[in-house]
Structure 1
Amino acid sequence: MAHIIVVGNEKGGAGKSTVSMHVATALVRQGHKVGTMDLDLRQRSFARFVENRRAYIDRTGVDLPIPDFLELPQVSEADLKPGENIHDQRLSVAIAELEKDKDFILIDCPGSHTRLSQIAHTLADTLITPLNDSFIDFDLLARHDGATGKILGPSVYSEMVWQARQMRAQAGLKPIDWVVLRNRLGAQQMHNKRKMGEALQNLSRRIGFRVAPGFSERVIFRELFPNGLTLLDLRETGVTSLNISNVAARQELRDLMTALRLPSTEMAA
């Protein structure tokens, strides 16, 4: 069976689509068969990333590896069993199609709570939650007292992940490996970074996730999106000399892929 990677949180602007495209492309470059889906049916940022990549390949003739992308199929209500949810069926049909010949399936979820996102989380072997390195986004995982730093309780998103874990346990499936990425790390504000790091490590022990380094705030990510490119494509697209920022960004991607501990993966230098 394919290893299912879900990229999700319930806040926009945390870099889910950027992470999704880079992880999917890195896996394809390693020789894996990768299928992808975008469950954000309104914004479709990841879907547009893939479309931009195809357009770039067609326009330039540059042979770049690209993950397979599957639009969520339509399902007739007449085909549903009594009590069956149409969104559950649409996702089930898509997963069944991709699992025929894929090593990995990557699902990019919307930055809001939807039925599709909720069900996708129950399917996750690996759950990646990008988080802007700020206490504003810390609320995504838990409610905390700003004065004392005390954790007051889990967030609605953490509760959803807990429910997904319970459903998997009842079905006899292996536990979700939940990885929280510290995205948009800045070079400044060292005091805030330290406090954020301590808070995440303390919370990780309470609700069961691993903390991993994500991507720093870099202009290059905004420049790559219109052409559907990733950090791994720079030399093939004519960038013969990488600047220090680009080299550092590629190292961040290597560190991320190592931290995910996905089966049968090894990030090339």
Structure 2
Amino acid sequence: MAADAAHLIVFANEKGGSGKSTTAVHVAVALAAAGRRVAAIDLDTRQRTLARYMENRAATARRQAVDLPMPVAETFDPDKGHHINDRIDALAADAEIVVIDTPGRDDVHARAAIERADTLVTPINDSFIDLDLIGQVDPETYKIRRPSFYAELVWDARKVRAKADGGTVDWVVLRNRLQHVEARNMRRVAAALGELSKRVGFRVIPGLSERVIYRELFPKGLTLLDLAAIGEPGIAHIAARQELREMVSALSLPDWPMKRAANG
């Protein structure tokens, strides 16, 4: 990646319900709130969760006459005859960071985006059901038997990226925490992830907790960084906001610590 090129963050997971779009929205807004020029593209033309979130956000800003940090956002429509790489290039021309939210299924456009990622974020819930996406686990020992199809897909994408421009993909597995998962199972998942990360080559960082407030914020398009617009934030909102800030910091994006310090 050239020094002046936009940094591409791709959120991808072929299993639904992992918090992928919610995390993508919060990261995009957090970066915009920190003064970065952010563009976002939603590749899921059916669900359009990221795009609808941003539409709700723009409507709230107009309705309440408040200034909310807003990434430039669009939905990719393959029926218009555009290639995904052309749309990424168009957004990257005026942005420092491009956030790409992919559908929760195998998709040719998502694969193309992964091949261009600088940071690939795969959110998973803290369970063996989600872990099975990237690694098969022995039912007796809970040891990793072998990487799964998605890990192989990422491996192939990394080879394509290296061949194309010599770049590398920082693969980050984001552990979102489920409230109903018992502690022993969480430790087993953590151990299996640690073993798999060494074999496949990804980083593991803590994600977001399963909180009702994330779902409640969607209709207004607000995030945990918009506490002033929420009205009467509680302790849960403040705790979740800190959790979000720590997660974004753990992504280790270019210049983020410096920007974060400068913006408090």
Deviations 1:44-65 (A, max 9, x none): 1111111111111121111111
Cα separation, 2, equivalents of 1:234 and 1:66: 15
CA RMSD of aligned residues (A): 1.6
1:49 is the counterpart of 2:40: no
2:39–2:95 contact (8 Å) kept in structure 1: yes
Kindly state the Cα deviation for residue 264 of structure 1 after the two structures are TM-superposed. Answer: 1.4
- Kindly indicate whether residue 235 of structure 2 is the aligned counterpart of residue 244 of structure 1: yes
Aligned match of 2:97: 104
Q: 1:70 Cα shift?
A: 2.4
Residue of structure 1 equivalent to 2:247: 256
SS in 2 for 1:214: strand
Q: Number of paired residues?
A: 256
Answering whether residue 162 of structure 2 is matched by residue 141 of structure 1, we say no
Alignment of 1:112-123 (within 5 A): 112-123=105-116
Q: 2:14 aligns with which of 10, 16, 37?
A: 10
2:37 equivalent among 33, 40, 49: 33
- Runs of 4+ deviating beyond 4 Å: 73-76
1:158 matches 2:151: yes
Q: Secondary structure at the match of 2:121?
A: strand
Structure 1 counterpart of 2:196: 203
1:230 aligns with 2:223: yes
Contact 2:137 2:145 in 1 (8 A): yes
**Structure 1 residue 67 and structure 2 residue 71: aligned?**
yes
| Contact 2:14–2:104 (Cα < 8 Å) also in 1 | yes
Give the TM-score normalised by the residue count of structure 2. 0.92
Unaligned 5+ runs, structure 2: none
1:116-140, Cα deviation, whole Å (9 max, x unpaired):
1111100100001100000111101
Q: What secondary structure sits across from 1:119 in the alignment?
A: helix
Q: What SS class does the counterpart of residue 129 from structure 1 fall into?
A: strand
Residue type at the aligned position of 1:199: A
| Amino acid corresponding to residue 20 of structure 1 in structure 2 | A
SS for the counterpart of 1:215 is strand
Which residue of the partner structure matches residue 132 of structure 1?
A: 125
- Mark the CA change 1:258 to 1:67 in structure 2 (over 3 Å): closer, same or farther: same
1:170-218 CA distance string (max 9 Å, x none): 1233210011011134276111111111111111111000000000011
Question: Matched residues in 1 for 2:107 and 2:152: separation?
Answer: 14
CA contact (8 A) 2:48 2:75 kept: no
In structure 2, distance between residues paired with 1:92 and 1:219: 36
The partner residue of 1:94 within 87, 90, 115 is: 87
Cα distance between partner residues in 2 of 1:225 and 1:132: 20
